[in-house]
Structure 1
Amino acid sequence: MRYLTAGETHGPQLTAIIEGMPSNVEIDFEEVNHQLHRRQKGYGRGRRMQIEKDTVRVVGGVRHGKTTGAPVALVVDNNDWKNWTSIMSIESIEDGEAKRRVNRPRPGHADLNGGLKYNQKDLRNILERSSARETTMRVACGGVARQLLELFGIKLACQVIRLGEVVVKREEMPIDDLIRITEESPLRVTDKEAEAAMITAIDAAKADGDTLGGIVEVIVEGVPVGLGSHVQWDRKLDGRIAQAVVSIQAFKGVEFGIGFEAAERRGSNVHDPIVYSEDGGFSRSSNRAGGFEGGMTTGEPIVVRGVMKPISTLYKPLPSVDIDTKEPFTAQVERSDTCAVPAAAVIMENVIAWEVAQAFMEKFGGDSVEEIRNNLKQYQAQVESY
């Protein structure tokens, strides 16, 4: 399975094409729209979320509610396009007529690097694609992939565990309870006291023209043992998930299980003891590794955390340099959020759903759901008889 996306943040639409989705997967596109809605929620979002009400249109690969085995094509229209039709027109213009031209790169963004790389003197040509609005289609693709996973009992949940200096008090709970509680929270947290402190922190940052980052966690339950592989570096599933997470705009780090805390412990308090029972077969008595050993799933829940830096666009912008005059200026201001950490948790959840689904297809691949189900049953019988 793979996908490609196209489109700009203020262009007419965002587009994705999914290749390799097996046939006969029942697709509930209201569920895909639910994932898009989750991405737009969260305390601290900017005015763009009031303009866009993202819904997906299916323009290929699905007939009568089921995938056909052909590429699945998805489109999300940009409602704000009506205000940008001349600014983002595809028609040629005379030199010097570019509207809303960006010539003062914003620190922390792709503006300057992209302008230098692609030889663009209007940095809007960079920021329109590098914008986090691109993640709309990654969430849509994840929304399709997770419906394949759900057919085989695999569930995903996400939560915010830190925002700025505020840390959530952790509480172990069933994944269904975690989903329910975080969906009811404007900051995707399970700790009401921390939620109130986070809201106060966001309000203070907004008043100062500043932004806040945080740490989010994704849990995947029901994953069979053996997804991924140890035999080549690029087939290790934890490595592929790590790459997917840090590819999300503003993400700067990732860890599995106890993660960086492992550096502080002795090995006897890091690795997960192996146990066996007649009913459950092989398992681990703990899950400090976050569901991975040797780049492969252990059958324990996958636990991944990602670090999102504060958003780079500040309403009190940092110093920059005008690319025309080379004179110092404050950076150009574009519409932005004060905090998008809750939304980032949803994005991370869906890019991980895609990576798990891709690995699932590599292991049990077939051209139809029925073929995959047979392959999975045969493998499960092999594991149970080991």
Structure 2
Amino acid sequence: MTRLRYLTAGESHGPQLTTIIEGIPSGLTLVDDDINLDLARRQMGYGRGGRMLIEKDTVAILSGVRWGKTIGSPITLGIQNRDWENWQEKMSPHPRHRDDRIRVTRSRPGHADLPGAMKYNHTDVRNILERSSARETAVRVAVGAVAKALLAQFDVTVSGFVTELAGVRAERKNLPLTALRELATKSELFTYDADAELKMKEEIDRVKESGDTVGGVIEVVVTNVPPGLGSHVQWDRKLDSRLAMALMSIQAIKGVEIGSGFDAARNPGSKVHDEIYYDSARVAHGAQSGFYRKTNNSGGIEGGISNGEDIVVRAAMKPIPTLYKPLKSVDIVTKEPFEATVERSDTCAVPAAAVVAEAVVAIEIANAFLEKFGGDSIEEIERNFGSYIEYLRSF
């Protein structure tokens, strides 16, 4: 069974972020521009902070690709931290550069600072905050761009939107997904409702003036997913559980729902479960199967398995915990109360989280796709996929 797996490494103010991806087949077209596009999107969005002016993320493909094609070996990607020149001694691996005068001992509420320091026995919180920082998501976006390139070979698309911000909800117009994506592309907040966007910006400006932050809700939609990804047979093979874990791994995400999500608990079963229909003519028009549903409350997943409908997942992002109006905390060394240390931060990073959510969802869908149709080359996967689709059309 082919598996896609990856590890990331690097600190927020270290020399670079690095990832090694294993399981990408040979023959996939991949150039740095494909990845840099999503890296740039991650740094956009109304309400971002000063670091976005410093970092202009670009990727270096260091292994696994030759002449624009993957070769089947592990792919190494690197993203340099351009602020490293100001941190070379502060983050140096060499003991001669140790300087306890610059220790960070004031843990910030809402961060990994205090529990991380307790767990790893550190009296310098920087040893925790450098890795727990959302800066790490840049390299996961790079992995997601590779996953999206693989899925695009099979016409599977992954789209992220901001559907709510600071309590302002976007109204989803009755438009095709391609039109919604076009609207979101033109939006500074990656939403498809221009009227709601104006109100969202007003809220961002208001809380910024008061030194506060805002959160929101993001939605990811995956189209053209064949039925049969994931499995019901083990808890860790269920596609919805894997997507939920991936989304919850994003910094500041505190809730996940699939399909109608929590609304399903508020309605009777007759209004929740998607009735099943069959029309053989659908296959003649290019559909993968004659089976279909008129509603999609399940979010494209039933029993841990994709059912052929669009996969729809949402995630709730809490407000960024680094405030310019610091909250109260305690020095981990002196135990004296202080106002929490302020690190460079954003007022709103919900649009960036939508890009990160796209990435982690794409990674999990690509992983499930490779498990189902895996091979060592794109051509082999295409044969496996084509054979399965023919089987579905006659099922």
- TM-score computed with the length of structure 2 as normaliser: 0.96
Taking the TM superposition and a 5 Å limit, the aligned residue runs for 1:1-386 are 1-93=4-96, 97-98=99-100, 100-280=102-282, 281-386=290-395
* Kept in 2: contact 1:87–1:99 (CA 8 A): no
Q: Is the 8 A contact 1:87 1:98 kept in 2?
A: no
**Distance in 2 between the 1:67 and 1:365 partners?**
15
Contact 1:244 1:352 in 2 (8 A): yes
**Compared CA separation, residues 99 and 38, structure 1 to 2 (3 A):** farther
- Partner Cα separation in structure 2 for residue 196 and residue 260 of structure 1: 28
| Residue identity (%) | 57
Give the residue type in structure 2 aligned to 1:183. T
Q: Tell me by how many angstroms 1:100 deviates.
A: 3.4
Q: Supply the distance in 1 between the matched residues of 2:65 and 2:51 (Cα, whole angstroms).
A: 30
C-alpha displacement at 1:101, in angstroms?
1.8
Q: What is the rounded CA distance, in whole Å, between the counterparts of 2:10 and 2:101 in structure 1?
A: 19
Offset at residue 118 of structure 1 (A): 0.5
The DSSP-based 3-state class of the residue aligned with 2:178 is helix
Q: What is the CA–CA distance in structure 2 between the aligned matches of 1:99 and 1:244, rounded to whole Å? A: 38
| Alignment CA distance shift 1:312-1:25 (3 Å) | same
How far, CA to CA, are the matches of 2:305 and 2:339 in structure 1?
48
Residue 285 of structure 2 corresponds to which residue in structure 1? none
| Shift >6 Å, 4+ stretches | none
User: 2-side partners of 1:372 and 1:125: how far apart?
Assistant: 43
CA–CA distance in structure 2, aligned partners of residues 150 and 29 of structure 1: 16
Amino acid at match of 2:308: G
Amino acid across the alignment from 1:257? G
Question: For structure 1, which runs of at least 5 residues remain unmatched after alignment?
Answer: none
Letter of the 2:81 partner, please give it. Answer: N
Q: Which runs of 5+ in 2 are unaligned?
A: 283-289
State whether residues 181 and 192 of structure 2, in contact with CA within 8 Å, keep that contact through their aligned partners in structure 1. no
| Aligned partner letter, 2:36 | N
* SS of residue paired to 1:79: coil
Structure 1 residue 173 displacement after superposition: 2.1
Distance 1:333 1:364, change over 3 A: same
What's the CA shift string for 1:186-205, capped at 9, x where partnerless?
A: 01111111111111111111
User: 1:73 deviation in Å?
Assistant: 0.3
Whole-angstrom distance in 2 between the partners of 1:34 and 1:94: 37
CA contact (8 A) 1:291 1:303 kept: yes
- 1:237, 1:296 within 8 Å by CA — same for their partners in 2? yes
Once residues 168 and 217 of structure 1 are traced to their aligned partners in structure 2, the CA distance between those partners, rounded to angstroms, is 11
Find the aligned partners of 2:392 and 2:26 in 1 and give their Cα distance.
27
For residue 357 of structure 1, give the secondary structure of its aligned residue in structure 2. Answer: helix
**Distance (Å, rounded) in 2 between the aligned partners of 1:187 and 1:100:** 37
Question: What amino acid sits opposite 1:219 in the alignment?
Answer: V
In structure 2, what is the Cα distance between the partners aligned to 1:158 and 1:382?
Answer: 31
**3-state SS of paired residue (2:281):** coil
Provide the aligned length of Structure 1 versus Structure 2: 385
Q: CA deviation at 1:99?
A: 5.4
SS at match of 1:149: helix
**Residues 40-97 of structure 1: CA deviation (Å, up to 9, x unaligned):** 00000000001000000000000010000000000000101111111111110477x2
Instruction: State the distance in 1 between where 2:213 and 2:129 align.
Output: 19
Deviation string, structure 1 residues 229-276 (Cα, Å, up to 9, x no partner): 000000001100000001100000000111100111110000000000
Q: Displacement of 1:222 after TM fit? A: 0.6
DSSP 3-state at the match of 1:212: coil
The separation in 2 between residues aligned to 1:121 and 1:279, in whole angstroms, is 67
